[in-house]
Amino acid sequence: EDKVVQSPLSLVVHEGDTVTLNCSYEVTNFRSLLWYKQEKKAPTFLFMLTSSGIEKKSGRLSSILDKKELFSILNITATQTGDSAVYLCLSSGSARQLTFGSGTQLTVLP
Amino acid sequence: NAGVTQTPKFQVLKTGQSMTLQCAQDMNHEYMSWYRQDPGMGLRLIHYSVGAGITDQGEVPNGYNVSRSTTEDFPLRLLSAAPSQTSVYFCASSRPGTGTYEQYFGPGTRLTVT
């Protein structure tokens, strides 16, 4: 059975801190890993990772995939209160093998 | 483009009632799917479709039916609602392309079954 585990489950930081969110996966027919941000509504897409070791960046957010150790990390530098959200990772294999982790609840305090 | 739309936004049902959650997309995506989201459990795949006329079960299909008569529409039918189906339901679509599934999500339907 495919499995995606995110850690930590929740995190509280202050503005300006740097955070690292983790996602480990055990998925047959792995194709890609995707990160989403969810703020009390539908998840919005952040990154899609298919190759090991290649960092994707978007502003203060970055992510990397390790296909040998089967994990990905999402980094957020200089956090802001607007970064408060649930961050979800999704492992994508075949059409049936779309498995979400349970998410990391990030709270950024002013 | 409207993207992925869902109706209704909120619904309250009594146990045993049936209803259909509507989902439509205008991006000509082949792949569409339904998820339910429960506290602490992330999103779980209910049913999916890789194209018109083709549907298949996901992780938690029991109690739900789907059909895909057109590329645009993918309704989810609850046959006989149960309190365990109280959840937030998201529809998503994607263009698989190389086999990756970047999901575009609708706004969700919050369903309560009493």
**How close B70 gets to chain A, by Cα (Å)?**
18
Lowest mean pLDDT segment, chosen from A8-17, A36-45, A95-104, B18-27:
A95-104
Q: Is the separation of the CB atoms in A75 and A62 below 8 Å?
A: yes
- For residue range B89-114, list pLDDT tens digits in order: 999 998 866 556 778 999 999 999 99
pLDDT at B1 over 80: no
CB-based contact, B96 to chain A, within 8 Å:
yes
- For residue range B18-44, list pLDDT tens digits in order: 999 999 999 999 999 999 999 877 899
Stretch A50-58: mean pLDDT, rounded?
91
CB-based contact, B52 to chain A, within 8 Å:
no
Which residues of A fall within a CB distance of 8 Å from B100? Answer: 31-32, 34, 48, 50, 92
A101–B105 C-beta distance less than 8 A: no
N-term to C-term CA, chain A: 41
Q: Which pLDDT belongs to residue B97? A: 61
CB-based contact, B61 to chain A, within 8 Å:
no
Q: How far apart are CA A19 and CA B5, in angstroms?
A: 33
Stretch A14-43: mean pLDDT, rounded?
93
B106–A31 C-beta distance less than 8 A: no
**How close B22 gets to chain A, by Cα (Å)?**
16
pLDDT band at A69 (very low <50, low <70, confident <90, very high): very high
Kindly tell me the burial class for residue B97, based on how many C-beta atoms sit within 10 Å of its own C-beta (0-12, 13-18, 19 or more): exposed
Stretch A68-73: mean pLDDT, rounded?
95
Amino acid B72 reads: E
Q: Which pLDDT belongs to residue B42? A: 82
pLDDT band at A87 (very low <50, low <70, confident <90, very high): very high
Closest residue of A to B46, CA-based? Answer: A96
Stretch A28-35: mean pLDDT, rounded?
88
* Per-residue DSSP letter, A67: T
pLDDT at A54 over 70: yes
Higher per-residue confidence, A17 vs A52:
A17
Q: Which pLDDT belongs to residue A40? A: 82
Stretch B6-28: mean pLDDT, rounded?
96
Place of tokens 């792949």: B31
- What average pLDDT does the structure give for chain B? 92
Give just the sign of the alpha carbon dihedral B51, B49, A103, A67.
negative
Stretch B77-88: mean pLDDT, rounded?
96
Q: How far apart are CA B38 and CA B41, in angstroms?
A: 5
Q: Which pLDDT belongs to residue A29? A: 81
Which residues of B fall within a CB distance of 8 Å from A34? Answer: 100-103
Within a 13 Å sphere around the CA of B110, how many CA atoms are in the beta-carbon half? 5
- For residue range B48-72, list pLDDT tens digits in order: 998 999 999 988 999 999 999 999 9
Interface of A to B at Cβ within 8 Å reads 4, 31-32, 34, 36, 41-45, 48, 50, 88, 90, 92, 94-96, 98-103
Q: Is the separation of the CB atoms in B60 and B41 below 8 Å?
A: no
Interface test with A, best of B102, B104, B110 (most A CBs within 10 A): B102
Amino acid B27 reads: M
pLDDT at A97 over 80: no
